[in-house]
Amino acid sequence: MTAPAVSAALREAAALLLPVACAACGRPGEALCGGCRLALRPDLRRRRLDDGVEVVSALTFEGPVAAALRAYKQRGRTDLARAFAPAMRAVLVECALAHGLLLDAVPIPPSAAGSRRRGYRPIELLLHHAGVAPLGALRWQRATDDQRALGVADRDRNLRGALTVRGDPAGRAVIVVDDVVTTGATLREARRALTAAGAQVVGAVTLAATPRVLPARTSPPESPGDSS
């Protein structure tokens, strides 16, 4: 087991021993209460980005979904990976049915700062709980500004050229996996980097999608990694 995996496993074990509250609404006694758990049932939505890639998302980023996802990424609630697994599995299965079963799932990596702070890699952990081994083919090659402070056009500019490929994904059919899609800027940059390296990006999946593209400064989080 890698160090982040051990750390995540210890956190999950600790969450079982310590008193817990619902990550989404704060109700004591359960890691996620019955009402909030219902909100995590997948309800698939599709959206085509302007580079032609179709994104399939399982949840709407609002209410209990947004609260639970923030707790998962920002407050170390790795125990929620299990609660998110059915939604993540649903979008992966949908993509596999549409594009074939021999797909590699390439997660958007967390930023270096996000990895150090958390000690776990949220999207890879989600994939593991959904029963899929991630292909870690992307890494950030430079720092980027927090996407939340930017408008739609600036989000693209901020991320352009920021991702690079590790290993050799040439000739592989891949899907890009992220937690939340807002404007699609992160997914577009991932597709650019992977395509330049010879991979075929057949689609993208995210756990959640924002209900709409919001103006700058009120937007919900978008990767890279630690911004959401």
Site for Zn ion contains 33 (CB under 5 A)? yes
Neighbours of 149 (CB within 10 A): 13
Q: How far is the C-alpha of 97 from the C-alpha of 91, rounded, in Å?
A: 10
Q: Which of 120, 101, 171, 111 is nearest to 140 (CA)?
A: 111
In angstroms, what is the minimal distance from the CB of 125 to Zn ion? 21
Of 22 and 130, the one with the shorter C-beta distance to Zn ion is 22
The stretch among 22-30, 97-105, 160-168, 171-179 that binds Zn ion (CB under 5 A) is 22-30
Of 80 and 106, the one with the shorter C-beta distance to Zn ion is 80
Of 31 and 159, the one with the shorter C-beta distance to Zn ion is 31
Among 8, 12, 22, 206, binds Zn ion (CB under 5 A): 22
Site for Zn ion contains 24 (CB under 5 A)? yes
Strand partners, 107: 177
**Whole-Å CA distances, 185 to 115, 125, 148, 190:** 21, 22, 12, 9
- The half-sphere exposure of 42 on its side-chain side, counting CA atoms within 13 A, is 21
In angstroms, what is the minimal distance from the CB of 50 to Zn ion? 36
In angstroms, what is the minimal distance from the CB of 26 to Zn ion? 7
Of 27 and 139, the one with the shorter C-beta distance to Zn ion is 27
Q: How is 9-51 classified by DSSP, letter by letter?
A: HHHHHHHHHS--B-TTT--BTSSS-HHHHHHTS---EEEE-TT
Site for Zn ion contains 25 (CB under 5 A)? yes
Q: Which residues are at the interface with Zn ion (CB under 5 A)?
A: 22, 24-25, 27, 33, 36
